[in-house]
Structure 1
Amino acid sequence: MGNFFKRHFKIITAMIAVLLFIQIPVTYAANLSDLKSKQQQVEQQKKELNSQINQKSSAIKSNESKQKQLLAQIDKLIDQISKTNQEIKQVENEIGQANQEIAALKEKIEALQKKIDERNALLEERARALQANGSVSFLDVLLGANSFVDFIDRFSAVNTLIDADRQIIREQKEDQKQLEDQKVVLENTKRKLEEKQNQLKNLKASLDSQKQEKNKLIAELEKEQQKLLSEKKLLEKQYSEYLEISQDLENQIAELQRQQLSKAQSSGNLPVSSSGFMKPTNGVLTSGYGWRNLGYGPEFHYGVDLANRAGTPVLASADGVVTYASALSTYGNVIMVTHNINGQIYTTLYAHLRAFNVGVGDVVKQGQQIGEMGATGRATGPHLHFEVHIGTWRGQKAGVQNPLNYISL
């Protein structure tokens, strides 16, 4: 909640600042000093807004990354849930098959037990008959025999019949035991299958719960993403408004420079030269005129960059009068010199300076030191950014020329 209010407090503060600039027209600025002061404030606001926009962009990118990770995890969970459902179905089929086999065994056991019971009843009946008749039956068998051999044959026949019955009973009991053992095995198998079924159902419930939780996180991230996009859009709108204010200030600075140039011309302070331009500093060309990409998107480079160590002298490229000497947007510290060469008005711009050696209104000679090389403004290292414009400076695009058409390296 605290972060929420902090974010919105910054946005509201930026909006109030924009409104204040809009409500106090920059045309009320009395002089170049006022314009410079306001421009510095605007550039600071632009810098802060740009930083906030970058933070929002980073947060949006991070949010998108989290959503992608969660979606990948959800896809994995869906696959696991599908696989678990298939395993549950397979186990249920196996349990059903085991139940059928157990039921069939039960029927066999019952049928076999019935036969055993019937055979036991028959044997018991025979045993009771033999016991009731006792020796009489034995004597009958003995006395009824025609000979001793006949007696042995009769006695063996009775014993054989009894032994046969007993063998059948033993085999039936063995079959019954085997069926009982099979039934125990099947019941154990069924129990294990049921345990596995329960484990799979618990796993599925856990997977479903995880999926619901991740869907909830996705919904929260999507809501946060909408808020971030909305806040970024608002910041970009504010930045656009500051750009318009900045452009208005640049136009007014250019107008004041034109007025100063007009005064210089009318008073004879603007020297007339026919010698052309010279290289403004001792440095290596690191970036030419035209389109380039420094890692944050393509941009048009309106001059040339000459790199050397900080403090390297920066020289006036031609005779002229200083019409600007102050900070200017991403250029950092800037000097502008206006020239009259063979009747044509030019303005040269020297940016990213560490120090000034001249001020507005000073008349300078070609080769005179006007400043020192530095890395102020948007710069990755000490260098001089040098531009040539036809006419007075009215912004980057107005009358801009390729400096290499005017100087030799």
Structure 2
Amino acid sequence: MKKLTTRSFKIIAVLLALILFIQMPAAYAASLSELKKERSQLEAEKKMLNKSLEQKTNEIQTNQNRQQKIISQLEQIGAKINAKNQEIEVVELDIEIANEEISILEDEIKELQDKIKKRDELLRERARAIQSSGTVSYLDVLLGANSFVDFIDRFSAVSTLMDADRQIMREQKEDQEKLEVQKVELLKKKESLEANKAKLQKLMASLKEQKREKNQLVAELEKEEAKLRAQKTSLKEEYDDKVELSKEVEEKFLKEQARLAEIARQKALEAKRNKKKNNSNVSSSGNLPTVAAGTWTRPAAGRFTSGFGSRDIGPIGSKNHLGIDIANSIGTPVVAAADGVVSYAGTMNGYGNVVMVTHSIEGQIFTTTYAHLSGFNSSVGDVVSKGQQIARLGNTGNSTGPHLHFEIHVGEWNGSRSNAVNPLRYISL
């Protein structure tokens, strides 16, 4: 009795869920469609933020490279400044030595000047002595000798005086010339050292100015780097927020898909119970495809033109074809390949107009995709039966001619289509 009650409760719960779905299909469709749109928008925003993060990372790296280059230049300038400081110290030492030599020379000059002064006084004294004796000359002195011996003495004395006078005048001239030469040489040397020092000091000032400018540039780059890092942190926080939000949306999306899949499973069971046993191979009117027996049927009438897997696309190589193609005229009816619920109806990148149907078959979820449609007569949330028309064959999206591109996915459809399988494993053409 208890087992029967539990079973009855489960049946009632399923029936209530089906009633709610039938009453509010538009709300469910809007929910799934909005979640899909929000998910796509979040992915686009994450991609843009990630691109901005990469750009900021590159800008920070460029900034750091510039800083490193300038710091290297600063090190070179610092080495030059140290070298010039040493050169200036050597020149200053040479100037100090030159100043000491000039000081010594000035003392020597003073001594020479005293000697010259004394000689000048001696010569003047001699001149006065000659003037005081009238016109007496050395010849008068010699002629005034009283004897030959006296003459010899007088001649020797006169010669000595004359030699002394000549020596005095010669030394006077040499000392004066020596004085002038030494003064000129030292002054030139001092001027050269001072000029070299001035040149070094000017170069030193230039190097210090370069160092100041480089330091200022490093400070500006460090400020810019801090700004870039703050921007990167802000972008990273925004990106992390988008990731969290994306996870929430994805979770809601998967739950909604699972809910629709469960509804599809329940409707498929209901449809199976309501089908007649003699309805296993019925042909539809018009251009509808023959509805096959069993769980699956072909989605459209027409010519099979391309299979599942790798295919040659000319000189550019090959690509993986994740479905099959059925060619026919535009407007040919496209039907549901199995019982299920429409989970998407709209446009999608290269697919053009596309309809997706979620199926629950023996406990396994499948999703079928019908692409390149000229239009569709189904909406998200519609419960459809195998062989029921849901769209019209077309040539929209990346299509080279009117045909239906048909895919089967084991599980829910995902953007990478990693769970696509060969449709010919389930349908017969």
**TM > 0.5 between the two?**
yes
Residue 351 of structure 2 corresponds to residue 327 of structure 1 = no
- Per-residue deviation, 1:103: 0.9
Q: Is the 8 A contact 2:299 2:337 kept in 1?
A: no
Partner of 1:402: 422
Q: Which has the larger radius of gyration?
A: 2
The change in CA–CA distance for 1:158 and 1:357 in structure 2 (over 3 A counts) is same
Secondary structure, in 3 states, of the residue corresponding to 2:393? strand
- Per-residue deviation, 1:64: 0.9
Structure 2 Cα separation of the partners of residues 399 and 249 of structure 1 = 19
Q: Is the 8 A contact 1:322 1:358 kept in 2?
A: no
- Per-residue deviation, 1:97: 0.7
**Larger deviation: 149-158 or 220-229?**
149-158
**Larger deviation: 34-43 or 67-76?**
34-43
Partner of 2:166: 159
Partner of 1:364: 387
Q: Is the 8 A contact 1:325 1:333 kept in 2?
A: no
The change in CA–CA distance for 1:202 and 1:285 in structure 2 (over 3 A counts) is farther
Residue 378 of structure 2 corresponds to residue 388 of structure 1 = no
Structure 2 Cα separation of the partners of residues 112 and 233 of structure 1 = 84
Partner of 1:292: none
Q: Identify unmatched segments of 5+ residues in structure 2.
A: 1-16, 143-150, 282-291, 311-319
The residue type equivalent to 1:327 in the other structure is A
Question: Of 215, 219, 237, which residue of structure 2 is paired with 1:212?
Answer: 219
Q: Is the 8 A contact 2:50 2:239 kept in 1?
A: yes
Instruction: State the superposition RMSD in angstroms.
Output: 4.6
The residue type equivalent to 1:225 in the other structure is K
The change in CA–CA distance for 1:394 and 1:257 in structure 2 (over 3 A counts) is farther
Q: Identify unmatched segments of 5+ residues in structure 1.
A: 1-24, 290-300
The change in CA–CA distance for 1:345 and 1:266 in structure 2 (over 3 A counts) is farther
Structure 2 Cα separation of the partners of residues 132 and 337 of structure 1 = 142
Structure 2 Cα separation of the partners of residues 369 and 349 of structure 1 = 11
Describe the superposition over 1:26-80 as per-residue Cα deviations: whole angstroms up to 9, x where unpaired.
x965444432221111112212222222222122112111111110111112112
- Per-residue deviation, 1:203: 2.0
Structure 2 Cα separation of the partners of residues 307 and 352 of structure 1 = 11
Question: Of 172, 178, 183, which residue of structure 2 is paired with 1:171?
Answer: 178
Partner of 2:27: 34
- Per-residue deviation, 1:337: 9.2
The change in CA–CA distance for 1:373 and 1:111 in structure 2 (over 3 A counts) is same
Question: Of 52, 55, 60, which residue of structure 2 is paired with 1:67?
Answer: 60
Question: Of 270, 287, 303, which residue of structure 1 is paired with 2:322?
Answer: 303
Partner of 2:396: 374
Secondary structure, in 3 states, of the residue corresponding to 1:218? helix
Q: Is the 8 A contact 1:333 1:353 kept in 2?
A: yes
The change in CA–CA distance for 1:288 and 1:357 in structure 2 (over 3 A counts) is farther
**TM-score, normalised via structure 1 length:** 0.71
Structure 2 Cα separation of the partners of residues 254 and 115 of structure 1 = 119
Partner of 1:14: none
The residue type equivalent to 1:355 in the other structure is G
Matched-pair identity in %: 20
Describe the superposition over 1:295-322 as per-residue Cα deviations: whole angstroms up to 9, x where unpaired.
xxxxxx993375999x866775997667
**Larger deviation: 222-231 or 99-108?**
222-231
Count how many residue pairs are aligned between Structure 1 and Structure 2. 363
Residues 132-281 of structure 1 correspond to what in structure 2 (within 5 A)?
132-134=125-127, 136=129, 143=141, 146=152, 155-156=162-163, 158-268=165-275, 271-272=280-281, 273=292
